[in-house]
Amino acid sequence: MDVRASIEADAIAVEKRWCAQNYKPLPVVITRAEGAWMWDGEGRRYLDMMAAYSAVNTGHGHPRILAALTEQASRVAVISRAFHSDRLGPFLERLCRLTGLDGACPMNTGAEAVETAIKAARRWAYRVKGVARDQAEILVAEGNFHGRTTAIVGFSSEEAYRDGFGPFPGGFRIIPFGDVDAMEAAITPNTAAILVEPIQGEAGIIVPPDGYLRRLRDICDRHNVLLILDEIQSGLGRTGQWFAHQHEGIRPDGLCLGKALGGGVMPVSAFVARRDVIDMFGPGSHGSTFGGSPLAAAVGLAALDVIEDEGLVQRSAELGAHMMARLAALNSPAIRAVRGRGLWLGVEIDPAVATARHVCERLMEQGVLSKETHDTTIRFAPPLVISREDLDWAIDRFADTLAKLTA
């Protein structure tokens, strides 16, 4: 083992010794990244086909975002919401105009945005809809992934996310994803909201039937129920629209955003909603020390500017269609399904051939980095700045990997 390889092995060993083992990373140590590419400590180059679960939509180390980060950090970074800043207002105005909604509550992580949505929906149910105190109920979808807090994993249908973490708070009902009739049948006078992902990411890039969101919008309107969409992964250009719900021409009552909002450099999230929902928060009812800091606002605004100015939404649509066509044309016996939208595709692997983890390990050896989900599906979600040539290079490596597995 040479010196650099030894250093990389040591880095893995030290992390394993001191870090909680709540992830199972591939055995690679990334020390540098730029655009759609990453490098390990030995100088090997890897194409990023995961983009940190959509957090790096604008690419690694985008110069405009880094400039906004460093310029703002040199002036003032964190003051807490105890005081006003000159950055927060313009950032949230831009976000609200972009979504067509009326107000926003800035937070840090995606899970915090979802927790904020839950609190807003419940208080709206009591103060606006007239639901009896502590009786509000939120309908969620089977296979959901909205974060890792105790409340959120409490309404997950994935037992591994729940095991050993109870008791969980109530107030949620799980309904099959894509089944609008079952969702409507579950509505009662106590239903405050329906909370769903337009496309389920962690479940394996599961796309619901056409018209699903339009029909949810209709039943929410008829039953006086809020429609809250979690677009933390699917939003900000990932699916070839600014937001995945725009493929069906609807507008939610509340929207959870995060990941790409931080420009790949820091956690930035927000719950954006119509006026009567966002106004449920008064002084002292909710908060976050770092949420909405001048630094977060400056970075978030820069990230939105980059997505718009560089045409990354249209780029995702065009390259996504190309990626779908190429993957669908592989006709490999290892592939059971290819699904997704924009630059966000899942390839389901036949377990009789290999686990998705095994495929990801072989891809790593060929210079392509991605991550499996549920042992069956490989996610392909590169930074939206990726070139067509680099995308084709990754697909070629994938095709070669599958060919070797099925030879």
pLDDT, position 1: 52
Q: In the predicted model, what is the mean pLDDT of residues 141-161?
A: 96
3-state helix, strand, coil in the chain (%, to 5): 40, 15, 40
- Which pLDDT score is estimated for 285? 95
Q: Range with the lowest mean pLDDT among 1-5, 96-100, 335-339? A: 1-5
What is the signed CA dihedral for 155, 157, 163, 165, rounded to 10 degrees?
-10
Which residues fall within 8 angstroms of residue 64, CB to CB, at 6 or more apart?
A: 302, 305, 306
The whole-number pLDDT of residue 243 equals 98
Whether the predicted pLDDT of 3 surpasses 60: no
- Which amino acids are annotated catalytic? 145, 230, 259
- Does the pLDDT of residue 248 top 60, yes or no? yes
The pLDDT of 232-240, averaged and rounded, is 98
Q: How far apart are CA 357 and CA 372, in angstroms?
A: 6
Task: Please write the tens of the pLDDT for every residue from 338-363.
Answer: 999 999 999 999 999 999 999 999 99
At residue 7 the predicted structure's pLDDT band, cuts being 50, 70 and 90, is: confident
Give the up-direction half-sphere exposure of residue 229: CA atoms within 13 A in the CB hemisphere.
25
Element holding 347 (H helix, E strand): strand 345-349
The pLDDT assigned to 281 comes to 98
Confidence class of residue 407 from pLDDT cuts 50, 70 and 90?
confident
Confidence at residue 5, expressed as pLDDT on a 0 to 100 scale: 65
User: In the predicted model, is pLDDT for residue 374 greater than 90?
Assistant: no
Rg, C-alpha atoms of the chain: 21
pTM recorded for the entire structure: 0.96
Amino acid 15: pLDDT: 95
CATH: 3.40.50.800, 2.120.10.30, 1.10.3720.10, 3.90.1150.10. Which one for 3-58+311-406? 3.90.1150.10
Q: Which residues, 6+ apart, have CB-to-CB distance to 257 below 8 Å?
A: 95, 110, 113, 231, 232, 235, 236, 269, 270, 271, 272
Q: Distance (Å, rounded) from C-alpha 325 to C-alpha 406?
A: 21
Give domain limits for the chain.
Answer: 3-58+311-406, 63-309
Kindly report, residue by residue over 113-125, the tens digit of the pLDDT: 999 999 999 999 9
23, 6 Cβ separation under 8 angstroms? no
Q: Which CATH class is domain 63-309?
A: alpha beta
- Quick: pLDDT tens for 315-334: 999 999 999 999 999 989 99
Angle, nearest 10°, between helix axes 294-309 and 312-328?
60
Q: pLDDT tens digits for 45-94?
A: 999 999 999 999 999 999 999 999 999 999 999 999 999 999 999 999 99
pLDDT computed for residue 94 by the predictor: 98
Cβ atoms of 188 and 219 within 8 Å: the answer is no
Flag whether pLDDT at 148 surpasses 80: yes
Buried b (16+ CB within 10 A) or exposed e, 173-196: eebebbbbeebbeebeeebbbbbb
Q: Closest Cα to residue 262, out of 112, 53, 56?
A: 56
